[in-house]
A and B are shown apart, each in its own frame.
Chain A
Amino acid sequence: MFQEEKITASKEAEAPLGETARIYIMGKSYDVPGGLTILKAMEYAGYRLVRGVGCRGGFCGACATVYRKAGDFRIYVGLACQTGIEEGMYLTQIPFYPAPKPVYDLQGLSPDVGALLRFFPEIVRCMQCNTCTKVCPQGLEVMNYIAAAQQGDLKRVAELSFDCISCGLCVSRCPAEIAHYHIGLLARRLFGAHATLKAVHLKERLEEIEKGRFEEELEALCRADRQTLERLYTERVIEPEG
Chain B
Amino acid sequence: MSLLLSLRRKDGLAKEVAALSEQNLYACYQCGKCTAGCPVASIMDDPPHQIVRFLQLGQTDKALKSDTPWACVGCLTCAGFCPKGVDLARIMEALRTVRLRRLDAPFRYTQEDGEWLSNLPQSAVVAAMRKVTW
A contacts, CB < 8 Å to B: 102, 113-115, 117-122, 124-125, 150
Contacts and interface: CB of A to CB of B under 8 A. Distances in A.
A114 B119 CA distance: 6
B114 A124 contact: no
Contacts of B111: 102, 119, 121
Contacts of A114: 118-119
Interface string B94-134: 00000000000000010101110111001001100100000
Contacts of B117: 117-118, 121
B122 A150 contact: yes
Nearest to B111: A102
25 contacts: A102-B114, A113-B122, A114-B119, A115-B118, A117-B114, A117-B117, A117-B118, A117-B122, A117-B125, A118-B114, A118-B117, A118-B118, A119-B111, A119-B114, A120-B114, A121-B111, A121-B114, A121-B117, A122-B129, A124-B122, A124-B125, A124-B126, A124-B129, A125-B126, A125-B129
A121 B119 contact: no
Interface in B9-39: none
A168 to B, nearest CB: 19
A94 B117 CA distance: 32
A51 B98 CA distance: 42
A125 B122 CA distance: 11
Contacts of A125: 126, 129
Nearest to B117: A121
A120 B118 CA distance: 9
Contacts of B129: 122, 124-125
Contacts of B119: 114
Contacts of A120: 114
Contacts of A118: 114-115, 117-118
Contacts of B114: 102, 117-121
A102 B112 CA distance: 10
B96 to A, nearest CB: 16
B125 to A, nearest CB: 5
A124 B122 CA distance: 7
Contacts of B122: 113, 117, 124, 150
A124 B131 CA distance: 12
Give me the 4 closest cross-chain CB pairs, A-B, nearest first.
A118-B118, A117-B118, A114-B118, A124-B126
B120 to A, nearest CB: 8
A119 B115 CA distance: 8
Contacts of A150: 122
A125 B111 CA distance: 14
A121 B126 contact: no
Contacts of A122: 129
